[in-house]
Structure 1
Amino acid sequence: MHINPYFLRLNFTNPLVEDDASSAQYDPSTGYLTVTLTKEIKGQEFKDLDLLAKLLAPRPTVQEPLVEVISSESTAEDPDNLVSRTQKLSLHDREILEAAQNGWQLPQKVPPLEQPTLSARAQYGFLNMHSGYFTNVEYTANEINELGSEAEKLTVLERRQRRIEHEDDKWDEEHYMADFVDDSYIQELNHWTHPHVSDSVSFTYTDKENTIMLNLPRKEYIPTAAQTHGLYLTLVTLLFAYAYDARTTQHDPTPESAWTICSLTPCLSALDPPPYGSEVKLSMPELSVAEVSASFVPSYRRSLAFPLYRSFSLAEKCREDVAHIMLKGKRSIFRCLLEMKDILDHHEVYYIYSKIWLDDFCVWTQAYASDDTLTRLGNMVKHAIVAKDSLGWDIEQLEAAIRQLQGPERREVDSDDE
């Protein structure tokens, strides 16, 4: 069994076959890999399955007679020469070739203990409590990780620089202009109403939600005033990503929902939580509309650079959704976080972001967040103003150019004009 970068070799006492009934399923929420194998002879008893050391032991090799090579000639110019081709193989390819010739008897060794180093490992996630989750990230299909294999050693400032550069690289003027000109579907999305916003009746949590709550960690958090300040601002960015996915899917998550939520949240894709901008001063005891507006800037930028639908008006609607959800109280906020957590928990790669952010955020929101502060924050989100020129792109100029092209009397546009 092979799941990069791991290779598991098991030696059974009796033969097996690989057919349609054979399968392997990995459950990221529990960490269990369930493998179904088919016996070559049905009904045959497999003994000693509980002896793990025996299953992991290599098969005994059969000693073959040695062959002495008297002489050999090889020409470097001969592309079909086996010796020259073998010498050109990399060390990894040679190991694979030798393993294939030896019945895949790859050496399985316990990795040596890491020697302590003077360089401190980077901290990230909720209250910077986590590290080590991205040690082998290059072996996973993590498409939203913007830090690559350096995620474990980059500083906070370096993460932010990487994030901004990636957003600028992904910004596509033509995509934005196309959605601005042909905005019929965008308008449909803008007129949709989130059920958590329209429902005025008090709700009770479902059995599924209660099950998720029971599995949340039992932790006590003692954050500083500055950390608490940052958590409230981070909550705003999480809810924005949730609102965008909910609005674009009509509250019916798709297989792309996990990617969308992670891509639109800076603290997930770049491990870069608020505060953002010079307006934010965590030394201030109270939140302000200016710093809330600044916290939305990266969310707006990412909503215009990454997903399928890229519209400033759609981003504004998502901000309004965040305000409505927050003003409905802690229970509605907590339900949205549980929905986000459930989406990420069932993704084979992005579940790690649930571990380092959403698990703790769910507990903190329910047990530690202040109802009064959440209400004030909801009003600030409602009155927040995100100027188009604050995004760093020429959005106003692009829209003005399109309006000028269309003119007061919108004419038919032929293929050349398009």
Structure 2
Amino acid sequence: MPALTFDDVSFAWPDGSVALANVSGTFGAGRTGLVGRNGSGKSTLLKLAAGELAPTTGRIRAAGEPVGSPSRTSPVALLPQMLTLDTTMRVAALLGVDRALDAVRAIADGDVAPERFDEVGDDWDVEARAGAALAEAGLAPEMLDRVVGELSGGEAMLAALAGIRLAGRPVTLLDEPTNNLDGDARGRVHELVTSWSGALVVVSHDLELLDLMEETAELYDHSITTFGGPYSAWKEALDAEQASAAQAVIEAKKVIATEKRQRIELETKIARRNRAGKKKADTLPPIVANAYARRAEESAGRLRIEAREKEGSAATALDAAGRRVRSDDSVAFDLPDPQVAAGRRILTLGDGERQWIVQGPERVALIGPNGAGKTSLLRALLASARHDAVDSWLKGPKTADVAESGSDVLRCAGAAGELHADRVAYLPQRLDGLDDAASAIDIV
């Protein structure tokens, strides 16, 4: 039985813009990578499959059950691309085990209220299971009682993934699960994926992750096509098909040029024959001359029809070949020239021999494992650039080692007027501050 089935599914946004139109296709019971250009509707398709959106038309079935049935628990779990989280939420709540965990602990402390036992059910080993799920994701089991706001973006993503794995739904949908993860964390996600129990559909730009899939499904031009292999094999097949299509266009254009040339040559021959026939007709009796003219016109008509049909067939072949060739629009961004002098000092980090200076229009990659404090450091630089007290950053949630060393490490030239707030732009990693109901232009 297919894990997911889409039957003539369409979806339009409230403003009437169509996101998906008459999509049909199936996803198997193994691991499937869902690919498609940005904006093709991959995330929308996953939300429809999870029941978070309702299709405008069509039907969706997951694990043999209609999606959106209010009478039963959904067989589908979704890890969304835009992981908007309540930063005050406990990690235990993110994993969906907070009620059972708190009840087990309350009972252990002597609370014998019946509702506590109802909250536990049969899940007496909830803390051990949740801790094991976190450990599989590379996180510390004691993280259960921390709040999401204390985690880095990568740690929050791993914790959410651990919660989905812990839920054990028959069908799991992962939308960009390796976003915000360092190399080691991506490796852990890859290991989790290869040992996943149940059907798995993954949308990702992580090519290594897509190569762990058993099948590749492409959403293109509102259609789903499935290839029996991982991404690299699918891409090789697609490139070969596109090269063939491009060659077919070249050949079809050559045929059209040939047919046009032959039609022109035919018209020239007919014109010459008509002139010769007219001269001959002047020497013949009228009845014979008329019969001769009729035969000449009929012959010329047949030749013209044949030439038009050949040229029309060539045009049809060119159109068919052209439809096979993809010409997708793409969007590219480049940062504007900051017009900073090469010798100008932008900021200074550290003291003495450990000092690091950013100078001129440099592009710098700040790397490190998840939870090391990369985002906290950027926020500290931003606070200093805005002439805020760095102490406000130090008092915020972060790992203890970052908090203890922050005041010693941070020396921002903004205090000396080198870094000004109106020259600093900050794009945060987390999307918690975005309004999901806002339009794209409002966000811009």
TM-score exceeds 0.5: no
Q: TM-score, normalised by structure 1?
A: 0.19
Larger radius of gyration: 2
Greater length-normalized contact order (CA 8 Å, ≥ 6 residues apart): 1
Q: Normalising by the residue count of structure 2, what TM-score does the alignment of the two structures yield?
A: 0.18
